[in-house]
Amino acid sequence: MNLTLKIWRQKDAGSEGQMVDYKVTDISEHMSFLEMLDVLNEQLVNAGEQPVAFDHDCREGICGMCSLYINGEAHGPDRGITTCQLHMRMFKDGETITIEPFRASAFPVIKDLIVDRMAFERIQQAGGYISVNTSGNTQDANSLPISKHAADEAMDAAACIGCGACVATCKNSSAMLFVGAKVSQYALLPQGQIEAADRVKNMVAQMDLEGFGNCTNTGACEVECPKGISLDNIARMNRELMKANL
Amino acid sequence: MALDSKVPEGPIKDKWTIYKDKINLVNPANKRNIDIIVVGTGLAGGSAAATLAELGYNVKAFAYQDSPRRAHSIAAQGGINAAKNYQGDGDSNYRLFYDTVKGGDYRSREANVHRLAEVSGNIIDQCVAQGVPFARDYGGLLDNRSFGGVLVSRTFYAKGQTGQQLLLGCYSAMNRQIARGKIEMFNRHEMLDVVKIDGKARGIIARNLITGEIERHSAHAVVIATGGYGNVYFLSTNAMGSNATAAWKIHKKGAFFANPCFTQIHPTCIPRSGDYQSKLTLMSESLRNDGRIWVPARIEDAKLIQQGKLKPTEIAEENRDYYLERRYPAFGNLVPRDVASRAAKERCDAGYGVNATGEAVYLDFASAFERYGKEQAKIHGIKNPSKEKIKELGQAIIEQKYGNLFQMYEKIIAENPYETPMMIYPATHYTMGGVWVDYNLMTTVEGLYCIGEANFSDHGANRLGASALMQGLADGYFVLPYTIGDYLSNDIRTGAIPTDTKEFDDAEKEVTDRINFFLNNKGTKSVDHFHKRLGKVMWDKVGMSRNEKDLKAAMAEIKAIREEFWKDVMVPGAANEMNVELEKAGRVADFLELGELFAKDALIRNESCGGHFREESVELDGEQKGEAKRNDKDFAFVSAWEYKGEPADAVLHKEQLEFKDIELKQRSYK
Ligand SMILES: Cc1cc2nc3c(=O)[nH]c(=O)nc-3n(C[C@H](O)[C@H](O)[C@H](O)COP(=O)(O)OP(=O)(O)OC[C@H]3O[C@@H](n4cnc5c(N)ncnc54)[C@H](O)[C@@H]3O)c2cc1C
Ligand code: SF4
Ligand code: FES
């Protein structure tokens, strides 16, 4: 395949960015999207130019590092995947592909396609944990049975990889799917109950402080989420918040 | 310098308890005055950072990703072992200890492994308390599954995302300490050197990957938890950023590097499809519980398959070679990873591979569909079910068990594995070798510790499934916090370590000189160009099977690539900005040295052991004819290399391994 790429280039957080056109040739349909970008970068380096910076690490859809807004969609066309799992067979020969960073005011651009997702870190630090001493003196793990249903549901919520696609795709740049997933995981487990009220209040307060927008139930986040995190988690978070404020 | 493993006296089952009772403690008020640097925030570093902070030390933690949650531990799928005996199938600390020592082909340190088994149960308790959603049975109790190489069900899991959930557990513990101000987290920072003062590790030099700034950080002790070096092969199941830099830099400053040639080649990975490929993807080994592995029995069929003229489903049962079941009737498809990997390579080398490159074998679920389907038909009282119905029922069961893996396979290969067998091939996965540490997890440099995959101690020549996660968390939550306290108890009056000293100046200068060299070199070839060449030499000559001639050639070739690299590498951009090529250049430079030492280590180990098959060392007769031959008389030691400049000049120190509690036996899976 031969493709035209329109890529956002931005030197650093302080500089202005712009779209730049590139051409790549001989792209195999078996390549992943990031391997296609590797080909472009090899080409740029060989020409003595700076390669396009993009975030990635595991390249198997689990670390949450890769981002990219491809042809107007977070993680590109195809559902239930991250950008590193996107394959070139989803594109056609001769196509023009637009590649931008995840855009949200709470995710400032660091360079080219790399954004700063530290806001997610700070939300987790505000209460996304269970306060347990890491001493090795905790009670036996089977002394508190947990129904299979609750454990499975908690696992589904816990599967969030913190990629930020939900924010990037939301017209309000809301982080509620991400925060809802974490709140739900602990709300569903007996271990998380004691701090539940403070947890949800603090995490939501931090979320607002970071400049994420509100949820208006459009549901775009659920559609683009690579891990199928469901909107139910937002509802559960709202219930938890109401309970906490009573 | 003589190697002292510092293994405590006493019977194996009491060593750790006696040790803990006798060590020096640091008074809580004094812990506030002590700083510890933890480099790496995967399972090992993350659990260590959280626990040390909990104890009251000031922790500075470093990671090259933007968040601890993205460390490579996140990718582990299968599960974590612990000797809980919840299933009542006869598991015990001793049995876990025994299986681990045997599985490691008797090349690990007994005392360390026993301690690992002893604390394994605590890990599960700790993680459950942190809210890790492990799989549960209908009674609400924890569920287990079984892994290759063992006969009990001791693997705890969270769907196919166990590493992710365990890491999120330690990440949350870290977040709690970050919020309290006890951990200062340095995301997007890369450690580029260690600083020694009076022989002790007292700090590091790190590069802020966003601004390019070179920073000095001091501490009373430094902990390296930077994971494995599998990317020395270029293609591996590791994350793209996984590297050996921290381990290699401390090696150059005096830490011995142990058993570099012990790498694990994992048997169930998605095969390579072309030269552009950047990494290999693992398919969890749990698939071997239900899948049967085969290649065509007739070479003509293999050729047609390779040319795409024949489909696997068109090959009759009697024309298939289920080679693992044929060779290893007792364990069949569940032989340990090293055995399964070598057997696959043997068939492919003989020309029976099943994809275009001839480097793949089938993992077939057809008989599992049928077996489960029939069972389901019985359960649901379906009389005379059709073949299709059976298959459908069976597929539903397999989907429940491994659905996410089947989906992942389909996304990558674009073939439906429910309709046609999967293709798999071995790939570099885990490095058992690493920085040499004593029983305290201290390296040969005082005050410098190494934990998790980055050290060498617990897995011997081969790692059993689900034991790396266990080791990372054992080291970080339960071992290091004790052993480091004993060392730090001598530092309560030291006070803060200044960074404006000659030692810091020198280390920083070395780092900046190297960066400037890369940027001013103006060569003609990219970093990846050299990395790929190194990887090819490593795979062809220092891969699964090795011989003297190839190993010598590999050493020379790697040296030549290294020399060319320093002459001709091209790194665009500047030092004071985010520069991804510059980051890669530093890592590949270190791989180019490590690779040569790796080959040298393989050369001296003239025995087949664990994942590595030495062609000169084969069983010549008896039941084990043609199998790998270990040589305990001459090689029951850890090779610990001391840096002397060129990798070829490294000096070998031997830590003789003693097996007092377990008898050294031939491993047989027949
Ligand atoms: C695909 C896959 C599946 C696996 N499945 C299993 C399984 O089911 N069960 C099991 O037991 N094991 C499994 N393993 C093995 C296991 O995941 C790893 O061995 C283990 O997680 C390693 O943990 P670690 O903490 O030592 O290192 P890592 O998790 O690799 O962490 C390394 C850390 O070091 C940091 N770092 C590295 N270099 C630097 C530097 N120079 N400066 C600053 N920071 C640095 C990184 O940012 C990261 O935080 C699997 C491995 C892979 C690849
Ligand atoms: S909820 Fe989904 S889209 Fe949002 S961060 Fe988590 S995994 Fe990504
Ligand atoms: S690179 Fe890890 S999720 Fe894409």
Q: Per residue in A79-114, pLDDT tens?
A: 999 999 999 999 999 999 999 999 999 999 999 999
Enumerate the residues of chain B whose CB falls inside 8 A of the CB of residue A28. Answer: 274, 276
Residues A172 and A193 in one domain: yes
Share of chain B above pLDDT 90, in %: 87
Tens of pLDDT, residue by residue over B453-502, are: 999 999 999 998 899 999 999 999 999 999 999 999 999 999 999 999 99
Of B75, B176, B273, the CB nearest to A30: B273
Tens of pLDDT, residue by residue over A55-82, are: 999 999 999 999 999 999 999 999 999 9
Mean pLDDT of the region B148-160:
85
Measured in Å, how far apart are chain A's first and last C-alpha atoms?
A: 59
Residues A190 and A226 in one domain: yes
Residues A40 and A8 in one domain: yes
Ligand 2 near A106 CB (within 6 A): no
Residues A125 and A107 in one domain: no
Domain that holds residue A165: 117-131+145-245
- Reply yes or no on whether the pLDDT at B625 is more than 90: no
User: What is the structure's pLDDT at B665?
Assistant: 84
- Structural domain tally of chain A? 2
* Substitution candidate for ligand 3 out of A38, A82, A87 with most atoms within 8 A of CB: A82
Ligand 2 near A168 CB (within 6 A): no
**Structural contact between residues B24 and B205, judged by C-beta atoms closer than 8 angstroms:** no
**Structural contact between residues B573 and B582, judged by C-beta atoms closer than 8 angstroms:** yes
A139 within some domain: no
At A206, the amino acid letter reads Q
The answer to whether the CB atoms of B84 and A141 lie below 8 A apart is yes
Mean pLDDT of the region A1-5:
97
- The secondary structure of B125-182, three-state, reads HHHHHCCCCCCECCCCCECCECCCCCCCCCEECCCCCHHHHHHHHHHHHHHHHHHCCC
- Reply yes or no on whether the pLDDT at B148 is more than 70: no
Tens of pLDDT, residue by residue over B328-363, are: 998 899 888 888 998 999 999 999 999 998 999 999
**Other residues' Cβ atoms within 10 Å of the Cβ of residue B486:** 17
Q: Indicate where chain B has its CATH 1.20.58.100 domain(s).
A: 504-633
- Reply yes or no on whether the pLDDT at A2 is more than 80: yes
Residues A127 and A160 in one domain: yes
**Structural contact between residues B106 and B462, judged by C-beta atoms closer than 8 angstroms:** no
Closest CA to B233 of B539, B461, B556, B530: B539
Tens of pLDDT, residue by residue over B538-597, are: 999 999 889 999 999 999 999 999 999 999 999 999 999 999 999 999 999 999 999 999
Among this protein's residues, is B337 annotated catalytic?
yes
Residues A162 and A223 in one domain: yes
Residues A87 and A193 in one domain: no
Torsion over CA of A139, A145, A148 and A150, rounded to 10 degrees?
A: -80
Q: Indicate where chain B has its CATH 3.90.700.10 domain(s).
A: 267-427
User: What is the structure's pLDDT at B627?
Assistant: 85
The answer to whether the CB atoms of B131 and A189 lie below 8 A apart is yes
* CA geometry: angle B436, B627, B258, nearest 5 deg: 5
Tokens standing for residue B487: 């060392």
**Structural contact between residues B398 and B416, judged by C-beta atoms closer than 8 angstroms:** no
A137 within some domain: no
Residues A104 and A158 in one domain: no
With bands split at pLDDT 50, 70 and 90, how would you rate the model's confidence at B149?
low
Segment (H or E) for B97: helix B93-103
Q: What is the CATH number of domain B267-427?
A: 3.90.700.10
B504-633 adopts what CATH topology?
Methane Monooxygenase Hydroxylase; Chain G, domain 1 (1.20.58)
**Structural contact between residues B350 and B552, judged by C-beta atoms closer than 8 angstroms:** no
Q: Is B246 helix (H, G, I), strand (E, B) or coil?
A: helix
Tokens standing for residue A103: 């855009």
**Structural contact between residues B484 and B36, judged by C-beta atoms closer than 8 angstroms:** yes
For helices B580-604 and B245-252, the axis angle rounded to 10 degrees is 60
Closest CA to B648 of B529, B563, B544: B563
Enumerate the residues of chain B whose CB falls inside 8 A of the CB of residue A128. Answer: 172, 175
Residues A48 and A31 in one domain: yes
Residues A14 and A98 in one domain: yes
Closest CA to B652 of B257, B360, B347, B379: B257
CA distance B135 to A147: 10
Tens of pLDDT, residue by residue over B355-382, are: 998 999 999 999 999 999 999 999 999 9
- The secondary structure of chain A, three-state, reads CCEEEEEEECCCCCCCCEEEEEEECCCCCCCEHHHHHHHHHHHHHHCCCCCCCCCCCCCCCCCCCCCCEECCEECCCCCCCCHHHCEHHHCCCCCEEEEECCCCCCCCEEECCEECCHHHHHHHHCCCCCCCCCCCCCCCCCCCCCCHHHHHHHHHHHCCCCCCHHHHHCCCCECHHHHHHHHHHHHCCHHHCCCHHHHHHHHHHHHHHCCCECCCCCCHHHHHCCCCCCCHHHHHHHHHHHHHHC
Q: What is the CATH number of the domain that holds A232?
A: 1.10.1060.10
With bands split at pLDDT 50, 70 and 90, how would you rate the model's confidence at A135?
confident
Select which of B70, B109, B337, B342 is catalytic: B337
B545-546 and B613-614 strand pairing: parallel
CA distance B31 to B492: 8
Beta bridge partners of B222: B37, B448
Residues A80 and A181 in one domain: no
Q: Touching check for B173 and chain A: CB below 8 Å?
A: yes
User: What is the structure's pLDDT at A234?
Assistant: 97
A181 within some domain: yes
A189 within some domain: yes
Mean pLDDT of the region B229-235:
97
Residues A177 and A204 in one domain: yes
Tell me how far the alpha carbon of residue B6 lies from the centroid of ligand 3, in angstroms: 41
Ligand 1 near B63 CB (within 6 A): yes
User: What is the structure's pLDDT at B497?
Assistant: 98
CA atoms within 13 A on the CB side of B36: 35
* pTM, full prediction: 0.96
Tens of pLDDT, residue by residue over B58-77, are: 999 999 999 999 999 999 98
